[in-house]
Amino acid sequence: SVLQHRASLVSLLGDDRTNCSDPSGEGLKLAKGAQPLPWDTERLYFQVNKEICEGFSREYDSELRERVMGMFGIEAAGIHVEALGLPLSASEYHAAAKQRYRDVFPSARPMPDSEGAYGRMFEELVASYGKVFSWDLKMKIMGTTELDSARIMVRELDLPITAEEFTEAVKKIQHGFLSKCSLMPGAERLVKHLHDNGVPIAMATSSSAESMGIKMSAHQELLSRFLHVVTGSSDPEVKRGKPQPDIFLVCASRFSDPPQPEKCLVFEDAPNGVLAGRAAGMQVVMVPDHMIPPEKTEAATLVLSSLEQFKPELFGLPPF
């Protein structure tokens, strides 16, 4: 059903950032819902890998490039090394690609929201144990609490540490990865529009208060427009993480005039978050990672490739 004008936004910022394939871990990354990089830039990335492989008398072709689409840096590097029989390790290829990108783009820096902050952070941690943070593993942890994510990674990768130790390791390095995160395209416009039109909005994130604070450190003015923030990894009232509905029900209950679930509209990027919102009885707009299979988006009320496509009037909200 269509929401009334006084709908409540209970989640806006995603918990993850998106990565496309690139063995350097620095290029070919798209913000959620963004279009691919311009053709000339794509060609330059292709050329960098081609030159590295030609240095070992190997041919880097489009077929190989397609094989690594959607993989993270060192995982893609490992495929290149294995497929072409290169006389170096995945880590060495990874380092060579990073250096070549610096040479080709000496003054360029990726936009913060396309740096795959969480992916690169987890990739670095598990690589220290000789493991690979794969796309399948990323799918399993998307939208979960920090401790649940750690439990999944420790179990799936058979890491010789506890989930609690993994979480502590993340805390030690997260500032460098998360402090430069930027907003999803269209997020700032939407938040300001709803706030300026008197629509009560709040944020529900699976992150801890500490992690959320780091991610939003550069966006304090925008954060002030939210009536409250629920951090699933550190809020004692959130007993269960996504895909359970707890975080959204708690978030809705904290409005001064708590709305019924059917009057709430959730914005999500993760399948677990969509399931949580729907389990809470709310409508959910999903802006998924482009690598997420279509069947993982079916539970959403509406699926968009970008928040910039959102039309508030479809849900009884003031139009832009």
Over its length of 320 residues, how does the chain's per-residue pLDDT go in tens digits?
A: 223 334 445 544 333 333 233 344 433 222 333 333 333 444 556 777 888 888 899 988 877 876 765 455 667 788 889 999 999 988 888 788 777 765 654 433 332 333 367 778 888 899 889 888 887 888 888 878 889 999 999 999 999 999 999 999 998 888 887 777 778 889 999 999 999 999 999 999 888 888 888 888 888 999 999 999 999 989 999 999 889 999 999 999 999 999 999 999 999 988 889 999 999 999 999 998 777 888 889 999 999 989 999 999 999 999 99
H helix runs in 197-270, sequence order: 209-215, 220-223, 246-253
pTM of the model: 0.60
R_g (Cα) of the chain, nearest Å: 20
Per DSSP, the three-state class of 277 is helix
Domain ranges of the chain: 8-16+182-315, 33-111
Q: How far apart are CA 32 and CA 72, in angstroms?
A: 16
Q: Which CATH class, in words, describes the domain spanning 8-16+182-315?
A: alpha beta
Q: How far apart are CA 168 and CA 177, in angstroms?
A: 15
Place of tokens 């409508």: 283
Listed residue (320, 49, 42, 304) closest to 185, CA to CA = 304
Could you tell me which CATH number the domain at 33-111 has? 1.10.150.240
